[in-house]
Structure 1
Amino acid sequence: MPWKATTTMEQKIEFICEWRTGKYTITELCKNFGISRPTAYKLISRFENQGYDGLKEQSRAPREHPNATGENIVKAIIKLKAKYPRWGAKKIRILLFNDFNKEIVPSVVTVHNILKKNGLVCPQKRMRRVKPVFPIFDPKSCNEVWSADYKGKFLMGNKIYCHPLTIADSKSRFLFTAKGHYKENLKSAKTEFTKVFRKYGMPKQIHTDNGSPFGSVRAIQRYTQLSYWFIELGITPVFSDPAHPEQNGRHERMHRDLKAACARPSAYDLKAQQRRLNHFVKEYNHIRPHEALGMKTPASVHNFETRPFPEKTPLFDYDLDHKVLKVTQNGAIRWRSYYWVYLTSALKGKYVGIQNLGNGIWKVFYRNVFLGFFNENELRNKKTNIRLETNLV
C-alpha cells in the first residue's frame, strides 16, 4: 500500500525492519509497501549510513544553485560589515562595486539576507509612524546654507566632558569639521568657524538652533555676538524654531552616526577623542555612501567654489536716509541726548542705522539686517527708556 501522510516515518521503519529479517526480496517489499525500487534502495542506503535518523524527511532544496552568490562576494560583504558595523546593506552594496563587476554584485535584499544569515543584522524597534517634518531651510545648491551645532556633550575616559562642534553643508551633507571643545562658548566656536571659512570659504546662510553661542530666544531676532559676526561677513544667521530640532533633521541624523562612532565608547582625553572625530569626518565625507545623494559620497557632490574669507571685517556704509548711531557699552543708543533705547550688549561699540518711517516710528538696522522698531513718542510721553520692539502694534 502507498505511504500514509500521517504515518510516513512508521511505514519507513516497518519497511527497514522487514528488510532486515531477510525473509523478503526487494521486489516483494516494494509490492507490499507500494513504493518503487529506487525509493527502496535509497531508504536502505540512508539507514546503513545514518541509522534511523536517515529515514527522516530530507530537505528538497537544491544543494547548489546556479544564481547563488559567490563565496568571495559573501566574504567581502562580511569583511565590509566588520569594518563598518554601523552601515546597512545599501551602503555596503555600493562599496562592492569598487572590487567586483556590477554584473555579479547582488541586490540589496541579497546583501541583507547574507548579513542576517551570519548574525550581523540587529533587529530594530518598530517606530511609531508620525507625520513627516521637512526642513524649513531646503537649499537648492551647495554653500547656500550651512548648518552648525554642538553635539550633545559626553564624558571621556578622564571624566571630563567633550562638546563636539559640527559644521556641514545642508545640500551636499559635506562635513567641514567635528571639533571637540571643553566648553560651548563664543571663543571656541569663532576660532573653529574662522578655520573652516579660511579653508572652505563662506556660505550665504548658517542654520543653527537657539542654544549658546549661536542664538538666544531673549535677544533681538535671537542674534548673539556670533550672529553679528556672521552678519559682518555677509552671512545671514537663520534659526530653527525653539524646541524643534527636527527642523534641522539632516544635521541631527549626522549627529546620531557621530555619537555611535565616537562616543560609544569615548576616548580617554580630548586629544584621543579628536583623532576619532577626524576619522569620522574623513569616513563620512569620502567613503560612506549617502542615500539622500543617490548613494554618492558628500565629497563627490560638494562644490568647493565659494566666497573667500576676508581677514579684515569689511566696511559698511549706510544709506543716506539713515541716521547712524553708536551702541554704547550698556547696549543702548542715546536718543535726543536725554533718552535711551536699549538694543543688546552684543552690539556694544558698533554702529547701527536708524530710518525714519514717520509719525515718530524709527526702523533700526545693523548693516543690512533689520533689528526692530522704536517709537520716539513713547520716550517723550513716558519720559523713560524703552527697549527695541521687533513688531509694531
Structure 2
Amino acid sequence: MGPEVAAAVAAKHRGDCVNVAAFCAQQGLSRKSFYKYLARFAASGVSGFYPDSRRPHACPTAVSSVVEDLIVLARKRLEDQGWDAGANSIVYWLLDHPAEWPVTMHGVPSRSTINRVLKRRGLLVLVPRRAPSRHRRRFEAAHPNTRWQMDGFEYTLASGAIVVVLHLVDDCSRMDLACHAARSENSQDVWAAFAGAVQRYGLPAQLLTDNGTAFSGRRRGWTSTLETNANVLGVHHFTSSVGHPQTCGKVERAHQTCLKWLRKRPPAQDLAQLQDLLDRYREHYNHRRRHQHLDGLTPAQRYELGPKDQPGPATTAPVYVTRRIVAKNGSIGIEGVLVGVSKKVASQEVLVIHRGRHLAIFIGNNLIREITLTVAKGGYQRIAKASPKS
C-alpha cells in the first residue's frame, strides 16, 4: 500500500470529504479494497495496513512443552554429570532413558528440533563455524587393536599437588584402554599403564605417542624403555611430528572428555582416590556413552565387533598376560612347563607376556628374558632363544 491510499483511508476515517470512487479510479484500486482497509484501520489503526500473519492458528506437529522440558532435563543431567550436552548426546540420552517419555509419545526428536528447542530456551551455545582446512588429512585405523594412541595430561589434587593421568585409547573404536594415575610422566608408570591395557585387551599392532621422554628417545639418540619393550613384543611404535599434536588427536580429544568429567567432582585427595574416579569414568565412557562417530555405538560395542588386529606377523595365537612369583630355584611355571629365569630375582614378581611358545618376561619395566619354549624330558625349559637383560 502506497502513502496516498493510507492518507486517504485515514482522512475518510477522520470524517473528511473523500470522493472514494474518483480516488480509487485514479489509483487503480477497487472500492471494495478501499473499504476493507478503512475497516481494518478503524479496528487496528496503522497496523491494519499490514497483511495479517499466515501462520496457522494450530500446528499438530509442534513440539509440546512436555517434550521441551524433557530435552532441557536431558541437557541438565548430562552437564551435571560432566558429559557433552550437545544435540547428539541428548538424542542418545533420550534413547537410553525410555522411562522418561510419556506413554503416548513415540520416537525421539531430531537433532535440528533439539537445537531449536535449546535456542528458544536460551540454552544453545553458538560456536563460530571454522573454515574447512584443505590440508587436513583424517586417518583412522580400520580394526580394533590396529593402532593405540597414548599420552598424558596433568591433574591437580586437593592438596594442590600436580600429578599425571596416562591415557591410552584405541584408534578405531575410541575404547578407553587405560587411565593410569601416576606421580609424573615417567617410564615406569608409562610401561605399567601399557602393560595393564595389554593384560585386558591383548597386544596392538601399532602404538602412537608423542615425543615425551617417557615415551620415546629416538629423536634424542637413545631408546626408551617403552620402545625397547614394544620392539620385543612385535608392536610397531612410532611418534608424531615435533610440535604437531594433531597426529595424536584422538587421545587429545579423549583428554578433554575425561577432564570435563573430573571437574564436575570434588578433587581427589591422593592417587588412589584419583584412580578410583578414573575407573568409574572408564566404565561409563566405554559401556554407556554412545558416540556419533560410531553411529550411536558405545566404544565397547565397536571394539567387540572386531576383527581385532595383532602385532608382528599374521598369527591366530592369542596373547596372554600373567604374573608369576619366581621360585627359589629361579624358575616360574608357564603352561605346565618350568621356565628358568634367574636365581638373582628369586621371590620377585614378574610379568609374562606370551603368545604361542614365545615369552617376554619383565620385572617392572625391565625386560629380563625373551624365550621361545622347547619342552625337554622332565618338563623343564631348555632355552632355544633367550635374551637376558641387565
The TM-score normalised by the length of structure 2 is 0.62
Question: CA shift at 1:97, angstroms?
Answer: 3.0
- Distance across 1 between alignment mates of 2:106 and 2:39: 41
Q: Verify the 8 A CA contact 1:155 1:266 in the aligned structure 2.
A: no
Paired position in structure 2 for 1:133: 136
Paired position in structure 2 for 1:144: 146
- Per the alignment, in what secondary structure is the counterpart of residue 179 of structure 1? strand
Q: Verify the 8 A CA contact 1:133 1:246 in the aligned structure 2.
A: no
Question: CA shift at 1:272, angstroms?
Answer: 4.8
- Distance across 1 between alignment mates of 2:268 and 2:321: 35
The residue identity in structure 2 corresponding to 1:92 is I
- Distance across 2 between alignment mates of 1:348 and 1:287: 37
Paired position in structure 2 for 1:116: 119
Question: CA shift at 1:13, angstroms?
Answer: 12
Question: CA shift at 1:204, angstroms?
Answer: 2.1
1:201-253 deviations in Å (ceiling 9; x for gaps): 22222211111311124455x63112212233333322222222111222222
1:77 and 2:67 correspond:
no
Distance 1:130 1:32, change over 3 A: closer
Paired position in structure 2 for 1:96: 94
The residue identity in structure 2 corresponding to 1:131 is R
- Per the alignment, in what secondary structure is the counterpart of residue 176 of structure 1? strand
1:255 and 2:255 correspond:
yes
Q: Choose which of 56, 65, 74 in structure 1 pairs with 2:59.
A: 65
- Distance across 2 between alignment mates of 1:80 and 1:94: 10
Question: CA shift at 1:266, angstroms?
Answer: 6.7
Distance 1:60 1:240, change over 3 A: same
Paired position in structure 1 for 2:191: 190
Report 1:248-287 matches (<5 A).
Answer: 248-263=248-263, 267-270=267-270, 271-287=272-288
The residue identity in structure 2 corresponding to 1:111 is I
Paired position in structure 2 for 1:211: 212
Distance 1:176 1:56, change over 3 A: same
Distance 1:66 1:310, change over 3 A: same
Paired position in structure 1 for 2:228: 228
Paired position in structure 1 for 2:109: 106
Paired position in structure 2 for 1:292: 293
Question: CA shift at 1:275, angstroms?
Answer: 4.5
Paired position in structure 1 for 2:314: none
- Distance across 2 between alignment mates of 1:164 and 1:211: 14
Question: CA shift at 1:126, angstroms?
Answer: 4.0
Q: Which runs of 5+ in 1 are unaligned?
A: 19-29, 314-345, 352-366, 369-393
- Per the alignment, in what secondary structure is the counterpart of residue 177 of structure 1? strand
Paired position in structure 2 for 1:358: none
Paired position in structure 2 for 1:318: none
Q: Verify the 8 A CA contact 1:148 1:207 in the aligned structure 2.
A: yes
1:359-384 deviations in Å (ceiling 9; x for gaps): xxxxxxxx99xxxxxxxxxxxxxxxx
The residue identity in structure 1 corresponding to 2:233 is L
Q: Verify the 8 A CA contact 1:134 1:247 in the aligned structure 2.
A: no
Distance 1:196 1:7, change over 3 A: farther
- Per the alignment, in what secondary structure is the counterpart of residue 291 of structure 1? coil
The residue identity in structure 2 corresponding to 1:297 is T
Q: Verify the 8 A CA contact 1:266 1:273 in the aligned structure 2.
A: no
- Distance across 2 between alignment mates of 1:179 and 1:14: 85
Paired position in structure 1 for 2:246: 246
Paired position in structure 1 for 2:321: 309
Question: CA shift at 1:278, angstroms?
Answer: 3.3
- Distance across 1 between alignment mates of 2:225 and 2:117: 53
Paired position in structure 2 for 1:34: 35
More off after superposition, 109-118 vs 196-205? 196-205
- Distance across 1 between alignment mates of 2:302 and 2:61: 35
- Per the alignment, in what secondary structure is the counterpart of residue 206 of structure 1? strand
More off after superposition, 236-245 vs 273-282? 273-282
Question: CA shift at 1:264, angstroms?
Answer: 7.0
1:265-310 deviations in Å (ceiling 9; x for gaps): 8715345544543343233222332232123211111138762225
- Distance across 1 between alignment mates of 2:248 and 2:4: 62
- Distance across 1 between alignment mates of 2:205 and 2:142: 12
Q: Which runs of 5+ in 2 are unaligned?
A: 16-30, 309-317, 327-364, 371-385
The residue identity in structure 1 corresponding to 2:115 is H
More off after superposition, 254-263 vs 164-173? 254-263
- Distance across 1 between alignment mates of 2:260 and 2:122: 20
- Distance across 1 between alignment mates of 2:195 and 2:284: 23
Distance 1:37 1:84, change over 3 A: same
